[in-house]
């Protein structure tokens, strides 16, 4: 199992990705290829007193870097010697099992689509983060930012690919799929939601997925569904709202409740460990990153502000994704859908 890491992507590159990769290699024995400017990678090692890379790690030199302001559509041609493009080409050529980058989301999505390629039948790749819910499991948001504007057909495919992800990687048997909407009635929403509802319901009747109807945003963190289907704009707003609410509640407990008086402060000391464990569940550094669903091989988008811990966990997530085949199940579902359409 080999993970290819863009060592130049992210706000804290190359130090954070390099040190995160070294920690991952030492902790799990993961084989990792660092793609980036070799001299800068070696300088990070010297600065941190690291003489040699752990066994199983290597450096692949890349002289250029994708800038956050680069046009995603032109990156492949204008930045062909960049760490991101070279890393994606290495993945496509079989020199690794998964790719991780904290660089530009648009550029990474475009590169993954054009270089690594989509699964046959998939029209748009989607971002599918999985976050913990009240029911004790995880809920996949598909899409959460890759496709701001969608067609009903895109949403149908998001439901199928999200269901395959929840089933094969998260271990959910017969995942419940819901369509994000402003109400649970099938008459709610814009024409996009209404048409998508009809397509998802038909797919449910054909046995392609377990569609349970519309779901409101407030019920998503409660575990009402295992997969919530939405356009990338709505999904991103949903995810950031959940993250922001969690951060606010954590701050509220710490500063408004536990620091009210000496007794509440003593109470905080007694339950500090538990509070921190709860808060870490929604911490992007603990989660690692988000996989692009519908791409032939695992491509993980790490947060742009990722630190050492975040890169370490993104590599762990990439390893887990590479060990679980979600695309075979996805291809079977797409083939079954195509056959039913032709009948």
Per residue in 27-77, pLDDT (tens digit) is 999 999 999 999 999 999 999 999 999 999 999 999 999 988 888 888 888
Are 11 and 79 members of one domain?
yes
Enumerate the β-bridge partners of residue 2: 31
Are 117 and 147 members of one domain?
no
Residue 337 inside a domain? The answer is no
Are 186 and 300 members of one domain?
no
At 205 the pLDDT is: 93
Cis bond upstream, residue 195 (ω within 30): no
Are 287 and 300 members of one domain?
no
Other Cβ atoms less than 10 A from the Cβ of 287: the count is 21
> Any residues with CB less than 8 A from the CB of 57 and at least 6 apart, and which?
21, 22, 25, 31, 32, 33, 34
At 285 the pLDDT is: 74
Say if residues 315 and 20 touch (Cβ distance below 8 Å): yes
**Cα separation values, 21 from 32, 185, 274, 309, Å:** 7, 47, 28, 9
Domain count, the chain: 2
Whole domain around residue 34: which residue ranges? 1-122+294-325
Are 299 and 272 members of one domain?
no
**Mean pLDDT across 306-314:** 95
């Amino acid at each position: 199992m080999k993970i290819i890491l863009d060592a130049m992507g992210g706000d804290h590159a190359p130090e954070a990705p390099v040190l995160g990769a070294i920690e991952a290699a030492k902790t799990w024995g993961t084989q990792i290829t660092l793609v980036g400017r070799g001299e800068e990678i070696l300088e990070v090692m010297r600065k941190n007193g690291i003489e040699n890379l752990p066994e199983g790690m290597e450096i692949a030199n890349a002289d250029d870097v994708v800038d956050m302001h680069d046009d995603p559509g032109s990156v492949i041609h204008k930045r062909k010697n960049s760490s991101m493009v070279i890393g994606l080409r290495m993945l496509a050529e079989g020199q690794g099992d998964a790719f991780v980058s904290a660089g530009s989301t648009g550029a990474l999505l475009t590169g993954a689509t054009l270089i690594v390629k989509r699964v046959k039948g998939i029209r748009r790749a989607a971002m599918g983060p999985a976050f913990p819910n009240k029911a004790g499991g995880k809920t996949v948001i598909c899409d959460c930012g890759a496709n701001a504007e969608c067609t009903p057909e895109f949403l149908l495919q998001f439901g199928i690919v999200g269901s395959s992800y929840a089933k094969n990687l998260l271990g959910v048997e017969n995942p419940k799929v819901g369509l994000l909407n402003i109400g649970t009635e099938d008459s709610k929403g814009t024409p996009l939601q209404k048409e998508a509802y009809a397509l998802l319901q038909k797919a449910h009747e054909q046995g392609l997925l377990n569609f349970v109807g519309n779901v409101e945003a407030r019920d998503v963190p409660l575990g009402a569904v295992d997969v919530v289907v939405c356009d990338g704009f709505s999904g991103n707003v949903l995810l950031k709202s959940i993250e922001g609410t969690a951060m606010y509640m954590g701050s509220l407990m710490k500063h408004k409740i536990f620091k009210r008086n000496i007794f509440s402060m003593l109470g905080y000391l007694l339950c500090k460990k538990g509070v921190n464990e709860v808060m870490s569940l929604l911490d992007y550094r603990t989660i690692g990153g988000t996989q692009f669903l519908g791409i032939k091989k695992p491509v993980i988008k790490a947060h742009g502000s990722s630190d050492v811990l975040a890169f370490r966990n993104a590599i762990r997530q990439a390893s887990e994704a590479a060990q679980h085949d979600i695309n075979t199940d996805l291809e079977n579902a797409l083939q079954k859908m195509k056959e039913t359409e032709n009948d």
